[in-house]
């Protein structure tokens, strides 16, 4: 429902569509909430009992999806893949417990610092260093956190 969420989903869809062995069977809005993620995942799992992966555009939706997985008898331990986005402490806890596969973690401090640097450059009339000049976009790196990288993160 948000611009950020739409861009996350758009990037995910673009990458999945370039793969021959993967197919998107549903795309439902978890409304950026745990309850919304639960409801969306319940609907997906009900309509697609052989579903093997859920990607949620934020961790709250992924946390709700994890609850729906449990209700449907699915688990990461049995090979189901559940990925969220944000790097929230709740998602990190679920990864540690083996109930979530991964989260794409952001660096809010680094993002804020970059935003201030960009504003200062703008005020000084300097080049902003857009990564995508046509869209006037500056990309900021993220990090995939799973059970193998959790301790270091």
The tens-digit pLDDT sequence of the chain (153 residues) is 577 778 888 888 899 899 989 899 998 888 899 999 999 999 999 999 999 999 999 999 999 999 999 999 999 999 999 999 999 999 999 999 999 999 999 999 999 999 999 999 999 999 999 999 998 989 899 999 999 999 999
Within 3-85, where are the H helices? 3-17, 34-47, 59-71
- What sign does the CA torsion over 63, 68, 73, 74 have? negative
**pTM, two decimal places:** 0.87
Bridge partner residues of 132 (DSSP): 137
């Amino acid at each position: 429902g948000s611009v950020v969420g739409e861009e996350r989903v758009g990037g995910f869809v673009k990458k999945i569509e370039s793969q021959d062995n993967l197919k998107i069977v549903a795309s439902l809005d978890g409304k950026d909430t745990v309850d919304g993620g639960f409801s969306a995942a319940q609907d997906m799992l009900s309509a697609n009992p052989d579903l093997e992966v859920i990607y949620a555009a934020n961790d709250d939706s992924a946390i709700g999806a994890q609850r729906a997985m449990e209700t449907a008898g699915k688990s990461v331990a049995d090979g189901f893949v559940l990925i969220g986005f944000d790097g929230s402490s709740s998602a990190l806890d679920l990864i540690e417990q083996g109930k979530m596969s991964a989260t794409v973690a952001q660096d809010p401090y680094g993002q804020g610092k970059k935003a201030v640097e960009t504003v200062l450059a703008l005020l000084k009339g300097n080049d902003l260093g857009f990564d995508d000049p046509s869209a006037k976009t500056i990309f900021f790196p993220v990090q995939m956190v799973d059970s193998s990288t959790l301790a270091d993160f």
